[in-house]
Amino acid sequence: MPIIYLSPSTQEWNEYVTGSGSEEYNMNLLADALEPYLLANGIQYRRNSPDMTAASSIREANSGWYDFYLALHSNGAPEGRYGQERGIIAFYYPGSSEGQRGAELIAEQLRQIYPLPNKVTTRATTTLGEVRQPWFPAVLVEIGYHDNYADATWVEGHMDAIAQQLARALTEFFGLPFIYPMPPVEGTVTVSYGTLNLRSYPSSTGTILANMPDGAAVTVYGEWEGWYVVHYGDYVGYAAAAYIDTQGQ
């Protein structure tokens, strides 16, 4: 299953014009809202922490291996334009075809909910470390302008909707079906013989990630057309729902 590095802003000095808190605070709220969608869709993640910087986030990401790097930010207008700019920009590194594809998918999804869809754009850049330095496809998305009252209030009031659209973009990027989150429940594998396959895709043709014996404990995060998204040991994948008992929950 795919794994991403999730990097909400660590810029605690960029205050929202509404007084709701900083860019760091609000982008971490957005990351909080995104996590259940990632789990429900079988997308594993590692997330930075507010005491880190963009540079240390990149170093941490590059110390492992991820399928995608997603940086969550809000924008600030240049001097002389304070409060006058609106829009969303998904940045990617020029020459990264997968980074560009990820940025375009994110922009496409956010256009569906942002009140000014023509102001949701993608842009290649070499100046942002969080798209230039990761060793894998990377997108930094500036979600609205925190110095614009309309944008700031839109972000604050649409955290779940923004998170859902980001997850939809990621599932499309990875070729997975989109699944709405459900409250995590504990389950037990129930097979009369052999083991239950944990797969990379909700199909009998999906790559087998692990074999789960009868009685194995799992956590169920989502359901799609007879398949559960489950966490078992070090793996997250899909398993046939008919062979997992959640009745005790």
Domain-by-domain residue ranges, the chain? Answer: 3-174, 185-245
pLDDT surpassing 90 at residue 1: no
∠ CA 19-103-141, nearest 5°, is 15
- Specify the DSSP class assigned to residue 78: P
Nearest CA among 75, 64, 78, 57 for reference residue 7: 57
Which pTM value belongs to this model? Answer: 0.94
pLDDT band for position 24 (cuts 50, 70, 90): very high
Confidence of residue 58 (pLDDT cuts 50, 70, 90): very high
Report the chain's terminal Cα–Cα distance, integer Å: 26
Whether 198 and 211 have beta carbons less than 8 Å apart is answered as yes
- pLDDT category of residue 248 using cuts at 50, 70 and 90: low
Q: Which residues pair with 220 in a beta bridge?
A: 185, 230
Q: What does the alpha-carbon distance between residue 193 and residue 135 come to, in Å, rounded to a whole number?
A: 43
For Cα atoms 89, 71, 163, give the angle at the middle one, nearest 5 degrees. Answer: 80
Over residues 14-23, mean pLDDT: 96
Q: Is the pLDDT of residue 247 over 80?
A: no
Q: Do domains 3-174 and 185-245 have the same CATH topology?
A: no
pLDDT for residue 218:
97
State the pLDDT confidence band at 138, using cuts at 50, 70 and 90: very high
Percent of the chain scored above 90 by pLDDT?
Answer: 97
Across the strands, what pairs with 136?
A: none
Which residue matches tokens 């809000």? 74
Predicted confidence band of residue 115 (pLDDT cuts 50, 70, 90): very high
CATH of domain 185-245: 2.30.30.40
Fold topology of 3-174? Aminopeptidase (3.40.630)
State the chain's mean pLDDT as an integer. Answer: 96
Cβ-proximal residues to 166 (8 Å cutoff; 6+ apart), any chain: 34, 37, 70, 106, 109, 110, 141
Tokens representing 162 are: 């923004």
